[in-house]
Structure 1
């Protein structure tokens, strides 16, 4: 990890203990050292230095420079960054963006400094960060995947280059790389964060958010970027409390159900992942929570997810100036999505609502449900090289078995590093069948402390 968290950097810059320019120069040096990961797409060194200099000048003038003052961040390549071509992980882009996306603008307003955009699979379709440009590698083991689709951002945070990487989650694409790279990744409730200038990200499935090394940093960034605009198709009600406040308080005694059985009999949870999950459940019980094993399988969200997934590929392709440059498997997916009748998509929406109500009824007595984030360890590389659309979808199944449900229901879910197996990170998922992110953050912070204390004992 980087030597300082986002919370520490911002506090030091705001207090005048360190200049933003020094923080950014150090991040750029680390970025250069991490080139072997192929996680950065466009490095914005001159722009970052200029932004840091302006921030220091404002500090010298006595201005408030924001809650993320001087924090270097990287941005997934599906978000507009002024002056940079928005590639969506492929070659379909055209002219550089004329303005920042809403999330990037809010980060800058909060004092963060953008140092690079990051790799992703084309249009974020798969949980592996590979494409026509090459392969992004996991800093824990360069022969393993960092997950995806926000794998570039995750790899740079896990390598200690920056404390914050912005990702997107349409089927687990924040939580999956968080698990693979040993990070904190929260998928908030639908409509929590603006997707402007676009009305949505992957229709009703997607949201934007950070990958961080700590729960406190996760909450700090969400407080800075939350909120929607008139452009957004979805908007969530205000959270029960500020995220940083939630992350700093005790969770109280919670009712926690845990489950390790995937929705499909063809998927087998790695025994090492199951052991980490079981150990996490025991640790939470020892901390005083009411923890119980849940019968049955994890709910199957695919009847609603699959039509929306293919429609999203088609829609994403329609937003770029050069869809003809897309990879072959992307073009295959876009053709499938374009052929889905509106009546089928409306039916998928109704199915999603039934799944949401069913989940809330099934788990009504539980505050939080605990599961694996992914069913396997970070997979070996490559996963997508030479694979067509069908092969890629099959290889993705163990990665998304537990993650797509939250995208279909719109509920909050997050991945938290809970242990290792063979030197590789293992994440667990906290899912809130009712309530919002403020139900998850206090528990995540408590579990983070418990694991840290155990490691130091």
Structure 2
């Protein structure tokens, strides 16, 4: 006789899939609970742009029929959320922008792979306008942090992070163009993986934002994030970047071996002011101490970023904004800061963009030289704890850039280089706000990073810490 599961809010991805396979829960039950939690939290948490109530319940009923018939898939019947920058058949893709967007007629490749694994997509989560800022707000209001409702969950995958941290779904997909998976993961006590460029398809874009943006998972545990990464990894034939395949879930239960780890606090030149919050400094120091206790060698060392490194990022990000602006039904409705950045993108989209792309191999060789001596880089994910939700409201581009670069100067270099990085939780500030650190690797090192992250999780058990339900 099986025991029915009554409280599913803290079930992870693998636990949820097991409960469905064992018959201790049905997909309709789980999806209904997820939808009810989304509805109850939406007035305050505001994590979702689109809620697929009717479609998700129909998909859940179909999943239950398939389960009853003996079919088994890794996520058959499991409720999942995706960020509103990927296409879901029958739903608009607004990417945080105002206006009336048409419903899409086909799934993005990453969504197709989710469905192939059996997942039920309950909704699409909020993002700031075109993913520009590490705070999630816009014409839809503010998305709030489940740990402190006056704080942002981060961005631009803030809706996905808030949904997972609050237990609305067991895991979600986000995207990361300058830290947009890792930053919200760090500010909501989650594991967030920015994979190798091309690891997860961005189709129908052959590449997103000229190669700086990738899709990635958000979950409460390393195992859940690793499972989701494996299930959605792979390419569409039209993808520009197709790295050799790797699998990571099977590395979660394996020790990483003794690693040489570079502890880097160096802030790339874009940060204004160039400061690191003392409680973030304490968090990375504590993580380094734990790693040493686990047998790793941790040495202070910095990548050779160089003073011109940021010039590689700007043309790609700004030209990407201009490209997206052309897809918006009514660009006049966009934030003035978005329009200004898009105008900059038009100026940078020619020779500066071509020069940036041509310079990337040299930058990879120069910065990658640190991996001649080290296996992993340990660095802060952000320079500060999560800001107030309205920290960039009503201000211009210059002041917005000051807020953004002061809070989040650490994540974007790995987007330029295309290498993998994993945010892991690193405890809480004295005010109870989550903190995170990132484990940064070289080409195709997701298995090593995931194994190391899982070792830290077994020691620190951040998965046992959950926010109170306050909506």
TM-score by length of 2: 0.92
Could you tell me which of 211, 231, 248 is aligned with 1:243? 248
Partner Cα separation in structure 2 for residue 22 and residue 60 of structure 1: 14
Corresponding position of 1:381: 389
Partner Cα separation in structure 2 for residue 269 and residue 226 of structure 1: 34
Could you tell me which of 46, 54, 57 is aligned with 2:54? 46
Partner Cα separation in structure 2 for residue 141 and residue 348 of structure 1: 39
Corresponding position of 1:423: 432
Corresponding position of 1:180: 187
Corresponding position of 2:336: 328
Could you tell me which of 427, 437, 451 is aligned with 1:442? 451
Q: Give the Å deviation of 1:384.
A: 2.5
Partner Cα separation in structure 2 for residue 15 and residue 353 of structure 1: 49
Partner Cα separation in structure 1 for residue 390 and residue 290 of structure 2: 35
Q: Give the Å deviation of 1:400.
A: 3.0
TM-score by length of 1: 0.95
Could you tell me which of 73, 93, 104 is aligned with 1:97? 104
1:57-81 alpha-carbon deviations (Å, 9 max, x no partner): 01112223x1112221111111111
Q: Give the Å deviation of 1:345.
A: 0.8
Q: Give the Å deviation of 1:219.
A: 0.7
Partner Cα separation in structure 2 for residue 236 and residue 277 of structure 1: 31
Query: 3-state DSSP class of the match of 1:363?
Result: helix
Query: 3-state DSSP class of the match of 1:37?
Result: coil
Could you tell me which of 414, 421, 432 is aligned with 2:441? 432
Aligned CA-pair RMSD: 1.9
Aligned residues: 453
Once the two structures are overlaid, the 10-residue window that deviates more, 342-351 or 365-374, is 342-351
Corresponding position of 1:199: 206
1:111-132 alpha-carbon deviations (Å, 9 max, x no partner): 1111111111111011110112
Say whether the 8 Å CA contact 1:130–1:384 is kept in structure 2. Answer: no
Query: 3-state DSSP class of the match of 1:426?
Result: strand
User: Following superposition of structure 1 onto structure 2, how do residues 160-309 of structure 1 map, counting pairs within 5 Å?
Assistant: 160-239=167-246, 242-264=247-269, 266-294=273-301, 301-309=309-317
Partner Cα separation in structure 2 for residue 307 and residue 324 of structure 1: 23
Partner Cα separation in structure 2 for residue 296 and residue 108 of structure 1: 40
Correspondence 1:17 to 2:33: no
Query: 3-state DSSP class of the match of 1:248?
Result: coil
Q: Give the Å deviation of 1:325.
A: 2.7
Say whether the 8 Å CA contact 2:80–2:121 is kept in structure 1. Answer: yes
Partner Cα separation in structure 2 for residue 454 and residue 112 of structure 1: 22
1:245-301 alpha-carbon deviations (Å, 9 max, x no partner): 122211111111111231237320001100110010011000111111225886664
Query: 3-state DSSP class of the match of 2:187?
Result: helix
Q: Give the Å deviation of 1:94.
A: 2.5
Correspondence 1:70 to 2:77: yes
Could you tell me which of 339, 347, 359 is aligned with 1:339? 347
Say whether the 8 Å CA contact 2:319–2:349 is kept in structure 1. Answer: no
Structure 1: stretches of 5+ with no match in the other structure: none
Corresponding position of 1:368: 376
Say whether the 8 Å CA contact 2:384–2:408 is kept in structure 1. Answer: no
Partner Cα separation in structure 2 for residue 435 and residue 80 of structure 1: 27
Query: 3-state DSSP class of the match of 1:250?
Result: coil
Q: Give the Å deviation of 1:353.
A: 2.2
User: Following superposition of structure 1 onto structure 2, how do residues 343-354 of structure 1 map, counting pairs within 5 Å?
Assistant: 343-354=351-362
Say whether the 8 Å CA contact 1:69–1:112 is kept in structure 2. Answer: yes
Correspondence 1:401 to 2:409: yes
Corresponding position of 1:8: 15
Query: 3-state DSSP class of the match of 2:215?
Result: strand
Once the two structures are overlaid, the 10-residue window that deviates more, 445-454 or 393-402, is 445-454
1:160-194 alpha-carbon deviations (Å, 9 max, x no partner): 11111111001100000001111110100011111
Partner Cα separation in structure 1 for residue 347 and residue 435 of structure 2: 38
1:77-115 alpha-carbon deviations (Å, 9 max, x no partner): 111111111111112552111121111111111111111
Structure 2: stretches of 5+ with no match in the other structure: 1-7, 466-471
Partner Cα separation in structure 1 for residue 188 and residue 31 of structure 2: 23
Corresponding position of 1:390: 398
Query: 3-state DSSP class of the match of 1:339?
Result: helix
Correspondence 1:451 to 2:460: yes
Distance 1:296 1:318, change over 3 A: closer
Q: Give the Å deviation of 1:413.
A: 0.5
Correspondence 1:57 to 2:65: yes
1:341-378 alpha-carbon deviations (Å, 9 max, x no partner): 52211111133222211111133211110000000000
Query: 3-state DSSP class of the match of 2:76?
Result: coil
Corresponding position of 2:165: 158
Once the two structures are overlaid, the 10-residue window that deviates more, 103-112 or 170-179, is 103-112
Query: 3-state DSSP class of the match of 2:80?
Result: strand
Corresponding position of 2:133: 126
Say whether the 8 Å CA contact 2:425–2:462 is kept in structure 1. Answer: no
